[in-house]
Structure 1
Amino acid sequence: MPRIAVLQMTSGIDPEANTRAIIDAAVEAANAEADMLFTPEMSILLDKDRKRASQWINSGGPERVVDELRDWGFFASLQISVGSMPVALANGKMANRTFHFDEATGEPVIYDKIHMFDVELDSGETWKESSAYEPGNQVVCVEDTPLGRLGLTICYDLRFPALFEELGRRECNAIAVPAAFTVPTGKAHWHVMLRARAIEASAFVIAAAQVGKHEDGRETYGHSLVVDPWGEVLLDMGGEAPGLGFCDIDLGRIAEVRAQVPSLANRRPIATSPAQ
């Protein structure tokens, strides 16, 4: 039975400190005989001051981190799914990019966040991710993990069921949803949406999250979750503090759920009529 480790973080503006926290977690996860480690969105650098962040990004910081984490994956014999970090693109924008490291080959599978977080909340928080980030356009699965096929998403992607429907169609056993959810939206929507996506895809959902008050002034909701294909919450790390949680994944549960409620097999195309 595969064992996963989920790292809940309060990432700050120092990439070296954040990377060290991930490496320490990887060592602890390996000592606990975990097969995989999952980290949150923007786990390497969480900084809303884009000018300050760009100094690290444009100086080759992401490339150095990728090399370091690749080496640690080898050392710990552990697959590491780094929820995301910002990377520079040729067009002058950035990508919000997941790196999933295979401990055998060291070569990462990458996924660029498709849906941009452009919102204005009643709390006064305003975010326009698209002003600095280029949206991805590829649905990505990691084919060979201890969990079987793993679908990759990031945070705001959670609100778009069509992406999860496609990952379900591709028969993913698990879907990663690394996140840095705001407190208002987390309180209202986090648990219900993660449970719904797990049920819809008949798959495990693994959501490593940012938590607490961050150096750049923001506050995130936490509650890193693991949800099984029936929608049962197997792990909830709460909204108070960072930490490392563990969960043993019973892959047989997937077949049990899909046999009882074969919604993936029963899905039919929806015909649409022309606008009147």
Structure 2
Amino acid sequence: MRAAAIQLNSTEDRDRNLAVADRLVRAAASDGATFVVLPEKWSVLGTPAQLAAGAEPLDGAAISWARTTARELGIDLVAGSIVEHVVGHDKRANTSVHVGPDGEIRATYRKVHLFDVEVGGTVYRESDGEEPGGELVTSALAGGVELGMAVCYDLRFPELFRILALRGARVVTLPSAFTLATTRDHWEILLRARAIENQSFVVAPNQIGPHPPGNQSGGRSMIVDPWGLVLATAPDEEGYVTADLDFAHQEEIRARLPALANRRPAAYAWPEGAAA
């Protein structure tokens, strides 16, 4: 299976973002990719007010485009994440959607871990306008390959990836808008760690460049194999990278170094007072 990670410099201009995404997804499919992943908030990325204005339901323009395009190209398309307007909720969701080659929505994952941090002197409060999801999600790619779904800041929570692996995920997608500082210092290390720990492929498209209100994402979209080797890294510009996912090689790794099988669940317990 050939996978592609699409790297975008999304802004508040949804029409522009959709046009670039359409061009790059089609180019990746022309290069043989049958599994394509877009970055976090690919359709609209901007100030809190711009995100609110650009929020849309799952039958809105962004996911409707994704469904039409996946069906036309015959690909599995993970439409990164969008800012979802959830009917009946005061706050929005950061939602990743897997669309199958038939154009049908196969799975929907709402980001569990919201980005409430300070990085490089900038305070991010994702929870001010968004509410977290409460469920981990797996899906199935064409051919029955199990897919685990995560978004951006989820990368720092290894228990999420372990649970996805134990549910059968052989590939995990991580659409992201990692900050420039954390991309430079943490991105590759964490991606490779999650891949090694769970002996899974990780497809991680990132945003690149500036976006309102003066923030900047670090690019370097990657595809990592279950041994932790980086199969592809994007240059610092909009574009895409591809890599072939060798599932037979993954099976060899899991057989020769059976870390997942050697787990000792009976010995594991959360320490008292470990709740957030």
Same fold (TM over 0.5): yes
Quote the offset at 1:257 in angstroms: 0.8
- Find the aligned partners of 1:200 and 1:275 in 2 and give their Cα distance: 25
**1:114 aligned partner:** 112
After superposition, the C-alpha distances for 1:138-187 in whole angstroms (9 at most, x for unaligned) are 11111233571010000000000110110111121110011111111122
- Find the aligned partners of 1:230 and 1:274 in 2 and give their Cα distance: 30
- Find the aligned partners of 2:6 and 2:270 in 1 and give their Cα distance: 47
Instruction: Within 5 Å, give how 1:22-61 maps onto structure 2.
Output: 22-47=21-46, 49-57=47-55
Q: Which amino acid aligns with 2:8?
A: M
1:257–1:66 CA distance, 2 compared to 1 (3 A): same
- Find the aligned partners of 2:269 and 2:35 in 1 and give their Cα distance: 42
- Find the aligned partners of 1:275 and 1:115 in 2 and give their Cα distance: 22
Question: 235, 243, 249: which one pairs with 2:245?
Answer: 249
**8 Å contact 2:55–2:82 — kept in the other structure?**
no
**8 Å contact 1:85–1:97 — kept in the other structure?**
yes
Quote the offset at 1:108 in angstroms: 4.2
Q: Which amino acid aligns with 1:187?
A: R
Quote the offset at 1:68 in angstroms: 2.0
Instruction: Within 5 Å, give how 1:128-143 maps onto structure 2.
Output: 128-143=125-140
- Find the aligned partners of 1:257 and 1:61 in 2 and give their Cα distance: 38
TM-score with structure 2 length normalisation?
0.92
Matched-pair identity in %: 33
- Find the aligned partners of 2:22 and 2:227 in 1 and give their Cα distance: 33
Long gaps (5+) in structure 2: none
Instruction: Within 5 Å, give how 1:168-179 maps onto structure 2.
Output: 168-179=165-176
Name segments (4+ residues, structure 1) moved above 6 Å: none
Aligned length: 271
- Find the aligned partners of 2:44 and 2:144 in 1 and give their Cα distance: 27
- Find the aligned partners of 2:180 and 2:103 in 1 and give their Cα distance: 38
Matched residue of 1:83: which SS? coil
TM-score with structure 1 length normalisation?
0.92
1:118–1:76 CA distance, 2 compared to 1 (3 A): same
Q: CA RMSD in A?
A: 2.0
